[in-house]
Structure 1
C-alpha cells in the first residue's frame, strides 16, 4: 500500500477554508485575510482554534493575525483555546502576546478559565 506524503495547507488555503464560517451568505466566495471578521466579530484565528488546527493557528499568528481580537461573546482566541482545553493552541497564543485578563460576556477572563481547568492550564497562565 503506497502512502501519499502529508501536505500542509498554505495560508491562502487556510483562509479560504474559513470563508463559509465567517461569511456564510457568500457561499465561500468572500475573500478572507488574517484580519477578516465575521458578523459576530470572529476572525480566521478564532475559527482555526475552534477547529483544533494548531498548524493553521501558527500560520495565522505568523501572518500577523490579531491574537487579542474580540469575537463572539467578547471572547478572544485564547478564551476559545481554553474552552476547547487546547493546551498547544493556548501556549502558542500566549507566546504571541495573548492577553490573559480580557473579560468576555460570560464574565470570565482566560486566567479565570485556566484556574477552573487547573493542572497545566493553571500553571501556564499563572506563570505570567
Structure 2
C-alpha cells in the first residue's frame, strides 16, 4: 500500500518515530523508509534526534542509508553527535556510518560533538568515534 501525502508527513514526524509499533506497521505496509521531508530529513534522522534507539535499529534492518544527508549535509551520525546519544552513534557506526563525512559547513561528526559540549560526554563521544574503525568501502 503506497503512502498518501498525509502518510508521508506522518512518517517524517519526530513524534511518530518514537512509536515503534506504528513505524513497524507502516514499514510492513510498504512505506518507504527513505522518504524525506522538505528539508531532506528522513525518518532515520528524526529517530536519532529523539533518541528512539529501537526505531533506529528497525530502520537499519529495512536497509536505510545510514549516510543519507539532509539538505544541509547533516547525516544521522551528525545528529547523534549533536544530541549526544552514544548508544545510537555506536549503532550507526557499527552499521557503516561515515565518521569523516562533512556537512555543508565542512564539519565532521567529531566537530559537531566538540561544538555541543566540553564535558565528559563530549570526550566519550569523541573516543567512540576514534575506537570504531571507519568503513571506507561503503
What is aligned with 1:88? 87
SS of alignment partner, residue 97 of structure 1: coil
Could you tell me how far apart the structure 2 residues matched to 1:103 and 1:32 are?
29
**Pairwise CA RMSD of aligned residues?**
2.2
Alpha-carbon shift at residue 115 of structure 1 (Å) = 4.8
- Unmatched 5+ stretches in structure 1: 1-6, 16-30
CA contact (8 A) 2:84 2:113 kept: no
Offset at residue 63 of structure 1 (A): 1.0
CA-CA distance at 1:126 after TM superposition? 1.4
Which residue in 2 is equivalent to 1:45? 44
Alpha carbons 1:42, 1:71 under 8 Å: kept:
yes
Deviation at 1:109, TM superposition (A): 0.5
Q: CA deviation at 1:103?
A: 1.0
Within 5 Å, give how 1:26-41 maps onto structure 2: 32-41=31-40
Q: Give the TM-score normalised by the residue count of structure 1.
A: 0.72
Which residue does 2:72 correspond to in 1?
73
Structure 2: tracts of 5 or more residues without a match = 1-18, 134-138
Q: How many residues align?
A: 107
Tell whether the 8 Å contact from 1:78 to 1:90 is kept in structure 2 after alignment. yes
2: distance between equivalents of 1:112 and 1:9? 35
Once the two structures are superposed, the pairs formed by residues 1-128 of structure 1 within 5 Å of their partners are: 9=21, 11-13=23-25, 32-115=31-114, 117=117, 118-127=122-131, 128=133
Native 8 Å contact 2:82 2:113 kept in 1: no
